[in-house]
Amino acid sequence: MSSVEQNATAIASVSGNVPISRRVANGIRRWWPYYVMLAPGLLFFLIWHYFPIWEAKMAFEQVRIIPPNLWVGLKHFQTLFASPVFYQVLANTLIISTLKILFVFPVPIIVALLLNEVRSGKLRKFVQSAIYLPHFLSWVVIAGIFIAILSPSDGAVNQITGLFGIKPTAFMTDGNSSRWVLVFSEIWRSAGWDSLLYLAAIIGIDQSLYEAAELDGANRWQKVWHVTIPGIVPTIATLFILNMGMFLSADLNQVINFLNDVNRGQIDILDTYVYRIGLRTGEYSLATAAGLFKAVFGMILILSAHFVSKRLTGKGVW
């Protein structure tokens, strides 16, 4: 049967009163090649993303060397919620996320506004090419770079503050500065690249609005304030809500490279806690319980973010 005929049968099967078995048979005949192509990816998702959900039942079990594990209900959650360390890491996570929203989030917006003012295309391209680079470096590399520039003996930062007679600080092992090291390394990594999204939004703004503003005698700042910024507010809102959706994450890949015994009290987050008690000390069930706590609240946050964003800007998380 040719594809066209198949099409015809498929259409007929939807409209007519063909028995359901025929309809399924027709559907399979028409669509099997697509299912074959879908299968490897789908199988991958089922195995690598759905099996772990099943494995997570460990949070409700006593892991025994000889299976089966013992069902203990909410015991591990009770242990978790009674543990001061848990509240410490939860607080750290929330503080670090808040600092990032306050101090990291606005930077790419400012960068995009500045870039937009650059008249020379060559200069703008040059700046863009340079500032996007850090986004593509791993956190291991970035941590290595920050260890170097923050070195108390010859790091760039202490060299500069030294010019003003300030005594060198060992930022990496100073509990007071460790959260700020996270903030600044995040800015260093993402300020350039994240500005791209805002720049794209700015380019999408109707040019006639600028012309109209110019006719009204608006200067540079008035144009930015009355045309550009209102034009990118939807993008800002979407990205802000997305960021809120990731509030409980605070970025494991980053933190684990900056964490040491001295700053643990300040930057130990939920994910690093789960990693430590789970894979280092072997308290699998407790770690899984903490992981599930994060997963469930993270899910609530992301879903709320999605629906709020969809409601306000028409754009969701996906």
Partner 1 sequence: MAAPKGTAIRRTPLERIEYAIIVTTLLAMVVVMLQPILNLLAVSFSDPSQVAGKSGLDIWPSGFSLDVWMLLLQHPNVQRGILNSIFITATATFIGVVGTALMAWGLSRPNLPGRRIIFLLVLVTIVFEPGIIPDYFLMKRMGLLDSYWSVILYKAVNAWYLIILVRFFEEIPEELLEAAELDGANPFQIFFQVVLPLAKPALATIALFYLVFHWNEFFRAMIYLNDQTKYPLQVVLRQFVVEGDKLAIVGADNAANNIGVAQINLKALKAGMIIITILPILAIYPLILKFFTKGTMSGALKG
Contact positions with partner 1 (CB under 8 A) in 125-164 = 126-134, 136-141, 143-145, 147-149, 151, 153-160
Q: What is the DSSP string of 123-163?
A: HHHHHHHHHHGGGGS-HHHHHHHHHHHT-TTT-HHHHHHHH
- The yes or no reply on residue 262 touching partner 1 (CB under 8 A) is no
Window 161-180: residues binding partner 1 (CB under 8 A): none
Window 68-107: residues binding partner 1 (CB under 8 A): none
Q: Which has the closest alpha carbon to 89: 223, 256, 214, 228?
A: 256
Pick between residue 35 and residue 81 the one whose CB is nearest to partner 1.
35
Window 199-258: residues binding partner 1 (CB under 8 A): 199-205, 207, 210-211, 219-220, 235, 252-253, 256-257
- The yes or no reply on residue 60 touching partner 1 (CB under 8 A) is no
- The yes or no reply on residue 309 touching partner 1 (CB under 8 A) is no
Pick between residue 81 and residue 307 the one whose CB is nearest to partner 1.
307
Choices 65-73, 89-97, 113-121, 174-182; region in contact with partner 1 by CB under 8 A: 113-121
Window 3-22: residues binding partner 1 (CB under 8 A): 3-4, 10
Rounded CA separation 154/178 (Å) = 19
Pick between residue 267 and residue 292 the one whose CB is nearest to partner 1.
292
| Angle, alpha carbons 9-14-20 (nearest 5°) | 90
Tokens of 69: 């594990």
Rounded CA separation 170/30 (Å) = 67
- The yes or no reply on residue 108 touching partner 1 (CB under 8 A) is no
Helix (H, G, I), strand (E, B) or coil at 16: coil
| Angle, alpha carbons 152-154-159 (nearest 5°) | 85
Rounded CA separation 161/166 (Å) = 5
Choices 78-86, 89-97, 174-182, 195-203; region in contact with partner 1 by CB under 8 A: 195-203
Among 12, 42, 74, 102, binds partner 1 (CB under 8 A): 42
Among 1, 5, 33, 66, binds partner 1 (CB under 8 A): 33
Question: Partners of 61 in the beta sheet?
Answer: 71
Rounded CA separation 259/126 (Å) = 34
Among 1, 20, 84, 119, binds partner 1 (CB under 8 A): 119
Q: What is the DSSP string of 249-294?
A: T--HHHHHHH--TTTHHHH--HHHHHHIIIIIS--HHHHHHHHHHH
Among 41, 84, 165, 217, binds partner 1 (CB under 8 A): 41
- The yes or no reply on residue 62 touching partner 1 (CB under 8 A) is no
Pick between residue 91 and residue 137 the one whose CB is nearest to partner 1.
137
Question: How far is the first Cα of the chain from the last one, in angstroms, to the nearest whole number?
Answer: 39
Choices 64-72, 78-86, 98-106, 287-295; region in contact with partner 1 by CB under 8 A: 287-295
DSSP 227: I
- The yes or no reply on residue 31 touching partner 1 (CB under 8 A) is yes
Among 106, 279, 307, 311, binds partner 1 (CB under 8 A): 279
Q: What is the DSSP string of 200-241?
A: HHHHTS-HHHHHHHHHTT--HHHHIIIIIHHHHHHHHHHHHH
Tokens of 256: 């684990």
Q: How far apart are CB 190 and partner 1 at their closest, in Å?
A: 11
